[in-house]
Each structure stands twice: as structure tokens, then as C-alpha cells.
């Protein structure tokens, strides 16, 4: 991307915002003094990142949710929990494991929701606790996929918490795999006996706003080869798509 196209994108966004109603490709091309094909490409790109919405009927563009949210900062964590409550309960009930939701805060994952493992054993609410992001599955999801996380992952030097914590090239390789599979499984990387299975949560648009995870004893969460159990992965993925739908409606 050239500096010129960044400048054009900024002008275009201002143009759409000032317009008050939807705007068509020809108007944009005329206002920016570019060819219709360039205007179209610019509009498409801004639509893909959630800054513009296209009207299905007329094909015209208006400001998207992503642009409106820019100045608001990250979603309120109590709102996130409230919107996700029913689905996270169902995840814990179906999987038989503790379910969590987390967001990235600096180099940590902040736990914003926690539902007990349904065996009525003694457990405490862990909301408000922080897990070092690189050593937790939720953290790896957010470092790999949350734009803020990607910036964090490039600049800071993580430390080992257990003998299995990944750092350096091994962590980079893991994050690449997480990006590919849209799934993180961390076994004993933060706490020796715990395994964690996490997937991303998206609100409206493509950006990742939080992660949802199952965390429990590695004997229960992984098979003999240390791989996450397929049934649990399916539960987390199902829950994530249901939560993402609820977040899209409520954020």
C-alpha cells in the first residue's frame, strides 16, 4: 500500500461520513479524481475491513460499524460477558469443563467470564485474573489474530513459565499455526498440569474482539498423543460461532 492510497482512503472515509447517505462508485471516482476501477478497489478494501457497508439493493456504500467504533476503544468487558452468558453456560454444560472468555490487555489475557466445571467441586470465580498471553491458549489466539495482539507479539520478549512455555521462534511458529487453524491448544505452557483449547470471537466485521476457551486437566482435554480431543474442539467452535452471532447483535 502506498502512502497515496492511505491518503485516498482517508479522504474517501471523510467523504462518505460527510455525505449523510449512501454514495455510489461514480461519485467517489469523481470526487477523488481517480478511475472508477481504482475507486471500486478502494471501496471494496474498506468494506472488507469493516469501515464501509455496501447496500445490497443499490450497491452504494455507507459508513460501517468499524469506522464508527474507532474512537470508542475496545468493547466493554461486562457487556461482552452479558451477551455471551447463555452460550458460555452451554459450553461448560456440554463439555463438562470450565469455560472462559478473555480479552487482550497489554501482554496479558484478562479473564472476563468464567463458568465452573459442572462437577460441583470447590471452585472460585476467576474473572479479573490475568494470564500471560504467550503462555495461554486464549492469549495465543489474540496475539495471532487481534490486530493489537499482533503488534504486541512483534515487540515484546516473553519469558518461560513452565518447561513447556513457547518463546522465540517456537512461539512464532505456534502463532502462525493458530492463524491458519483459527484454534490454539496450549498444554502445560502456563500451568504444568493444565491444557487449554481456545478459538477467536468476532463481533460485527472480521476483527477478533475476544477468545473463548476450555481450561482443564490435560488428561481430560487431550488424548494420549497430547492433541486436543476432537469432541471438545467441536464444542468450543460451536459455542464460538453462537457467541459471535450474539456479539454481532449486541455490541
Partner 1 sequence: MSARYVVAIDQGTTSTRCIVFDHFGRFVSVAQREHRQWFPEPGWVEHDALEIWANVVRVVPAALAKAGIGPDDVAALGIANQRETAVLWDRHTGRPVARAVTWQDTRVAPLLAELAQRDPPRTFRERCGLPLSTYATAPRLTWLLRSSPALRQRAASADVLFGTMETWLTWQLTGGPQGGVHVTDVTNASRTMLMDLRTLDWDDELCAAFEVPRAMLPQIRPTATTHGRASTVLPGVVIGALMGDQQAALFGQACYSPGEAKCTYGTGAFLLLNTGDQPVASSHGLATTVAHQVGDEPAAYALEGSIAMTGSLVQWFRDGLSLVRTAPEIETLARTVNDNGGCYIVPAFSGLFAPHWRPDARGVITGLTSYVTRGHLARAVLEATAWQTVDVVEAMNADSGLRLNTLRVDGGMTSNLLLMQMISDRLDVPVERPMVHETVSLGVAYAAGLTVGLWPDLGVLRRSWHRGARWTPDMTAQTREQQRSGWRTALAQTIGPGFTPTAARPPGP
Binding site for partner 1 (CB under 8 A): 76-79, 81-83, 85-86, 89-90, 92-94, 114-116, 118-120, 123-125, 127, 250
Compute the radius of gyration of the chain from its Cα atoms.
21
Question: What is the smallest separation between the CB atom of 141 and partner 1, expressed in angstroms?
Answer: 23
Look at residues 33, 37, 26 and name the one whose alpha carbon lies nearest to residue 7: 33
Q: For residue 105, give the C-alpha cell.
A: 490487555
Residue closer to partner 1 by CB (options 56, 120) is 120
Residue closer to partner 1 by CB (options 76, 181) is 76
DSSP percent split of the chain into helix, strand, coil, nearest 5: 50, 20, 30
Question: What is the smallest separation between the CB atom of 78 and partner 1, expressed in angstroms?
Answer: 4
Contact 26, 36 (CB under 8 A): yes
Question: What is the smallest separation between the CB atom of 83 and partner 1, expressed in angstroms?
Answer: 8
Residue closer to partner 1 by CB (options 119, 159) is 119
Residue closer to partner 1 by CB (options 77, 244) is 77
Alpha helices by DSSP H, the chain:
3-19, 25-32, 36-48, 65-69, 77-95, 137-145, 147-155, 168-181, 218-221, 230-250
Residue closer to partner 1 by CB (options 28, 88) is 88
Question: What is the smallest separation between the CB atom of 125 and partner 1, expressed in angstroms?
Answer: 5
Question: What is the smallest separation between the CB atom of 184 and partner 1, expressed in angstroms?
Answer: 24
**Residue 39 burial (CB count, 10 A):** 22
Contact 218, 185 (CB under 8 A): no
Amino acid at each position: 500500500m502506498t502512502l497515496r492510497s492511505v491518503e485516498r482512503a482517508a479522504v474517501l472515509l471523510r467523504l462518505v461520513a460527510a455525505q449523510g447517505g449512501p454514495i455510489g462508485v461514480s461519485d467517489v471516482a469523481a470526487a477523488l479524481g481517480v478511475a472508477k476501477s481504482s475507486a471500486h478497489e478502494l471501496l471494496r478494501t474498506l468494506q472488507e475491513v469493516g469501515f464501509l457497508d455496501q447496500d445490497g439493493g443499490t450497491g452504494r456504500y455507507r459508513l460501517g460499524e468499524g469506522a464508527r467504533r474507532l474512537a470508542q476503544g475496545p468493547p466493554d468487558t461486562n457487556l461482552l460477558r452479558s451477551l455471551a452468558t447463555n452460550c458460555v453456560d452451554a459450553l461448560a454444560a456440554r463439555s463438562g469443563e470450565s469455560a472462559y472468555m478473555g480479552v487482550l490487555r497489554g501482554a496479558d489475557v484478562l479473564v472476563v467470564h468464567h463458568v465452573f466445571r459442572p462437577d460441583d467441586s470447590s471452585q472460585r470465580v476467576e474473572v479479573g485474573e490475568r494470564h500471560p498471553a504467550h503462555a495461554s491458549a486464549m492469549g495465543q489466539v489474540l496475539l495471532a489474530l487481534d490486530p493489537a495482539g499482533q503488534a504486541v507479539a512483534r515487540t515484546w520478549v516473553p519469558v518461560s513459565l513452565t518447561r513447556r512455555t513457547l518463546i522465540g521462534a517456537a512461539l512464532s511458529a505456534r502463532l502462525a499455526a493458530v492463524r491458519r487453524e483459527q484454534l490454539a491448544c496450549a498444554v502445560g505452557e502456563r500451568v504444568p498440569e493444565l491444557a487449554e483449547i481456545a478459538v477467536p470471537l468476532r463481533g460485527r466485521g472480521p476483527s477478533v474482539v475476544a477468545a473463548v476457551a476450555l481450561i482443564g486437566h490435560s488428561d481430560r482435554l487431550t488424548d494420549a498423543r497430547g492433541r486436543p480431543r476432537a469432541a471438545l474442539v467441536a464444542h468450543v467452535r460451536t459455542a464460538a460461532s453462537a457467541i459471535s452471532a450474539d456479539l454481532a447483535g449486541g455490541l
